């Protein structure tokens, strides 16, 4: 037999070994926490630096935009001055002044081009900054992933060390109201005849065991316990030498109702009732339910059991019976699950349903209303069917060119959810477009959904009709914004755009009768009546060309059919 001194020495050695192992684990844990703190600090600094750079770029771009607006106001002032001079002076002075204004306009155009180039350069710098930020974010993400892998490896090493140094292992299996507990002793653990295993409710002190058994010094073995009638979470603990010194504990087991959950998505039943629902079938496999047991609806990715979307309490039922609970389907598309919580388990769930996917059911319908005579689009009727976000009086729809960013809309209108649809002006420029819905509850330039593509066709025309001594000219231009710098000219067929026979600026005042270079025309921005030009004196083939300020000074974008002067 071992002497008391020898036994005491062995116990002290054992305690010292346990203490060293615990110290190693604490040291590893401190290293992990320090690495996490450093990683979070690196990520915070990088994010602050990126945000600062972007704010500086935004301020610079805003300054350039304000400068451009001032230039636009100056240009409008010059246009008004030109119109006043045209009305006040005779033909020669007006021609001279128009040439001066033309030079100013060219200089203005040059300044506009330089400003646009500067804006483009700034935008390019911002794009590069965003790309740099993205590259830095990717580098930080890779660094974080590497750190996480390193942390996982350290945790794995810690768990292996813990397993290798484990003195006692406990495993538990629960079936048919019987709990089978199995124990095994590590090679470094010295068993005592009065070692014992206690059965506890989770959270109870070591002195408050429900049942216990002695191991009689056996290095491995098993024992069957009768499951308690009170539902809840339970655990087994191993104690050494008749003391309350805990050596090991088992996994937590749930004793109580065993529930299976099956969820399915149910579409809307009618046009009046547009709500989609989720039906949850709950089947009791074992145990008894109480009125305090409950199920909660969660996003599948949600980690915290306290952040449920909706919850309902269950009603008592017999083993084998089922009940069906109906929940409103979440608005946000994604995967969702249900979790079962017995009342005595608080926010620890013991069962999970299958995943239910809520698809994106938002839709934006656009009807193009056309003029019966010209076939031109005169308005857009927009109807939004939005499920993923709540309606708001500040929601709006906007027209965009295909692939345009969300801050470059052509036109927009606030959306009235109380009406079946709203009408907005169509774009005039030729091209392909779409309408996008923006919610006030989301970020400023994030769209909720988009319509199908619609196309704006070319409906502009210029016509010329020859009568003795006169050329009757009419036009209808919608694809470009109107400007007092627009002009029409008569050209020989094949001549360059600089070789006009006669020309005239298009005035917004439809009642102004003006003359220039032997042209007599009442200038109209849209087609109402034919306008007369003095016919060219030399015979030949001619045509009329329309020039838009927004296309280019000498870039015609519409021509009449050729006509012959005899």
DSSP string, 474-541: EEE--SS---TT-EEEEEETT--TT-EEEEEEPPS-TT-EEEETTEEEE--SS-SS-EEEEPPSS-EE
% of residues, the chain, pLDDT over 90:
29
CB 378 within 8 A of CB 371: yes
Q: How many CA atoms lie within 13 A of 130 on its CB side?
A: 9
Position 336 pLDDT exceeds 90:
yes
When the pLDDT of each residue in the chain is averaged and rounded to a whole number, the result is 83
Cα separations in angstroms, 391 against 365, 409, 412, 415, 520: 17, 21, 17, 9, 57
- Tokens coding 100: 């001066």
Summarised one tens digit per residue, pLDDT across range 178-188 is 899 999 988 88
∠ CA 164-168-173 to the nearest 5 degrees?
110
Position 371 pLDDT exceeds 60:
yes
Higher pLDDT, 105 or 399: 399
Position 390 pLDDT exceeds 90:
no
Terminal-to-terminal C-alpha distance of the chain: 139
Position 326 pLDDT exceeds 60:
yes
Cα separations in angstroms, 145 against 45, 140, 302, 319: 17, 8, 21, 47
Q: Which letter does DSSP use for residue 228 in this model?
A: P
Position 129 pLDDT exceeds 80:
no
- Tokens coding 415: 């959306």
Helix or strand holding residue 28 (H, E): helix 4-88
CB 42 within 8 A of CB 143: yes
Confidence band, pLDDT 50/70/90 cuts, at residue 322: very high
- Tokens coding 68: 């451009």
∠ CA 497-500-506 to the nearest 5 degrees?
90
- State residue 511's pLDDT score: 29
Q: Which residues pair with 462 in a beta bridge?
A: 475
CB 414 within 8 A of CB 395: yes
Count of helix runs (H) and strand runs (E) in the chain: 2, 34
Position 60 pLDDT exceeds 50:
yes
3-state secondary structure of 288: coil
CB 324 within 8 A of CB 279: yes
For residues 125-154, average pLDDT: 77
Cα separations in angstroms, 444 against 78, 181, 406, 407, 440: 36, 59, 9, 9, 7
% of residues, the chain, pLDDT over 70:
89
Position 14 pLDDT exceeds 50:
yes
- State residue 529's pLDDT score: 43
Summarised one tens digit per residue, pLDDT across range 496-550 is 888 888 888 876 543 232 333 333 333 333 334 456 778 888 889 999 998 888 7
Confidence band, pLDDT 50/70/90 cuts, at residue 161: low
- Tokens coding 362: 């938002």
Residue 374: other Cβ atoms inside 10 A: 13
Rounded to two decimals, what is the model's pTM? 0.48
Position 38 pLDDT exceeds 70:
yes
For residues 116-141, average pLDDT: 76
Confidence band, pLDDT 50/70/90 cuts, at residue 421: very high
Residue 139: phi, psi to the nearest 5? -65, -40
- State residue 199's pLDDT score: 94
Summarised one tens digit per residue, pLDDT across range 438-487 is 998 888 778 999 999 999 988 888 888 888 888 888 888 878 777 778 88
- State residue 472's pLDDT score: 84
CB 448 within 8 A of CB 434: no
- State residue 332's pLDDT score: 85
């Amino acid at each position: 037999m071992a002497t008391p001194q020898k036994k005491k020495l062995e116990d002290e050695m054992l305690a010292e070994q346990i203490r060293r192992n615990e110290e190693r684990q604490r040291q590893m844990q401190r290293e992990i926490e320090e690495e996490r703190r450093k990683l979070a600090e690196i990520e915070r600094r990088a994010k602050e630096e990126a945000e600062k750079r972007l704010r500086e770029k935004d301020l610079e771009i805003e300054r350039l935009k304000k400068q451009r607006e001032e230039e636009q106001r100056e240009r409008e002032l010059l246009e008004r001055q030109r119109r006043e001079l045209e009305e006040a002076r005779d033909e020669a002075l007006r021609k001279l002044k128009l040439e001066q204004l033309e030079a100013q306009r060219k200089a203005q155009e040059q300044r506009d081009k330089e400003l646009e180039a500067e804006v483009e350069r700034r935008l390019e710098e911002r794009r590069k900054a965003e790309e740099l930020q993205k590259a830095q974010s990717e580098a930080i993400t890779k660094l974080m992933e590497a750190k996480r892998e390193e942390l996982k490896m350290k945790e794995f090493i810690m768990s292996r060390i813990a397993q290798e140094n484990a003195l006692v292992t406990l495993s538990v299996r629960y079936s048919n109201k019987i709990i089978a507990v199995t124990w095994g002793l590590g090679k470094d653990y010295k068993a005592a005849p009065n070692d014992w295993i206690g059965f506890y409710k989770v959270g109870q002190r070591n002195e408050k065991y429900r049942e216990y058994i002695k191991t009689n010094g056996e290095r491995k073995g098993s024992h069957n316990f009768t499951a308690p009638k009170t539902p809840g979470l339970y655990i087994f603990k191993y104690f050494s030498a008749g003391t309350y010194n805990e050596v090991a504990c088992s996994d937590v087991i749930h004793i109580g109702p065993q529930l299976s959950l099956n969820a399915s998505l149910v579409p809307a039943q009618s046009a009046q009732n547009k709500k989609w629902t989720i039906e949850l079938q709950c089947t009791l496999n074992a145990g008894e339910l109480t009125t305090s047991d409950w199920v909660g609806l969660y996003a599948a990715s949600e980690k915290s059991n306290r952040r449920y979307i909706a919850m309902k309490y269950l009603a008592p039922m017999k083993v084998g019976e089922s009940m069906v609970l109906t929940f409103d389907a979440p608005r946000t598309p994604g995967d969702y699950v249900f979790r079962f919580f017995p009342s005595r388990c608080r926010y620890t769930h013991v069962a999970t349903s299958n995943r239910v996917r809520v698809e994106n059911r938002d839709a934006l319908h656009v009807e193009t209303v056309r003029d019966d005579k010209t076939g031109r689009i005169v308005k857009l009727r927009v109807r939004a069917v939005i499920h993923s976000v709540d309606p708001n009086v500040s929601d709006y729809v906007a027209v965009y060119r295909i692939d345009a960013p969300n801050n470059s809309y052509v036109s927009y209108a606030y959306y009235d959810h109380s009406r079946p649809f709203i009408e907005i002006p169509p774009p005039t420029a030729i091209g392909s477009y779409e309408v996008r819905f923006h919610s006030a509850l989301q970020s400023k330039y994030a769209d909720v959904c988009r319509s199908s593509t619609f196309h704006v066709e070319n409906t502009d025309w210029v016509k010329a009709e020859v009568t003795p001594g006169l050329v009757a000219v009419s036009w209808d231009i919608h694809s470009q914004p109107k400007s007092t710098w627009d002009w029409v000219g008569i050209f020989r067929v094949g001549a360059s755009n600089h070789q006009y026979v006669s020309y005239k600026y298009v005035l917004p005042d439809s009642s102004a009768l003006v003359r220039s270079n032997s042209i007599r025309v009442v200038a109209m921005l849209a087609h109402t009546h034919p306008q007369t030009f003095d016919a060219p004196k030399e015979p030949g083939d001619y045509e009329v060309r329309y020039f838009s300020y927004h296309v280019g000074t000498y870039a015609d974008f519409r021509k009449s059919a050729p006509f012959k002067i005899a």
